[in-house]
Amino acid sequence: MVGTRKSLALVIALAISGVAAACGPSNPPDTAADKQQDTAPAGTGTQDTTTPPPGSTDPQPTPPATGAPSGTAEAPAPKPGKGSTPIKESKMLEDVKKAGVNLAKTSTLEKIPLGQKKKLMPLFQKALGYKDCQGCHVEGDFKKETRNIKITRGMWDHYVAAMRDEKGGAVFCDTCHDGTPKNLDRSDRKAMEKFMEDEYEHKLTRADKKDNECSTCHGDAMELKIIEKLWGIAAK
């Protein structure tokens, strides 16, 4: 009986040994790190050691500046008359001299001899960008007074004869017009005022050596309609 029990125990032991061999070696024992990872909450992955622990005094990253101005934005400064013609050095002074006119000593246009005025007229035409004499004159009747003839006299008397550049040199029609009859962009009042201050007031001087100010052209009462009100030339 005892021998039978020993035989049965040996058979069971051999059977268990065969099953273990078929399944391969057992899993290695868990390390301390494995046990720590097993206790971490699901989905957290490996702990980020760069993140400061709660209560840390490390400064938080500063968000990038958005560039948006704080408070009420200031009104943009007026752009100096985009369509206006800046003051330029005259390119016609030699031609005026060849016509026999001394701009340093000239007075009113009416006092210039007719022969010299006829030599100046092509220069007027070029300086203002007119394609022919009809920019000022009536075709077939050059003696007929037109508004542009009267304005030309006023411009000569009040600018060519009375004004100088910032260095005290002579000016001519192309100093302001430079090939265009309309040399002021009037679409923006503030921008035009800024342009006139920068160009006409600061870059022109007076032949009589007095200070060049707004009142030089507009009068003490600041009359804006110079041609109609101060020169007495009727509007179209």
Residue 206 dihedral angles phi and psi, to the nearest 5°: -100, 145
Residue 171's contacts (CB-CB under 8 Å, 6 or more residues apart) are 90, 103, 159, 160, 163, 164, 165, 204
- Location of structure tokens 């004159």: 137
pLDDT in tens, 214-234: 999 999 999 999 999 999 999
Residue 24 identity (one-letter amino acid): G
Based on C-alpha coordinates, what's the Rg of the chain?
A: 48
pLDDT of residue 73: 55
pLDDT in tens, 42-77: 444 444 444 444 444 444 555 444 444 455 556 555
pLDDT in tens, 16-40: 344 333 334 444 444 444 444 444 4
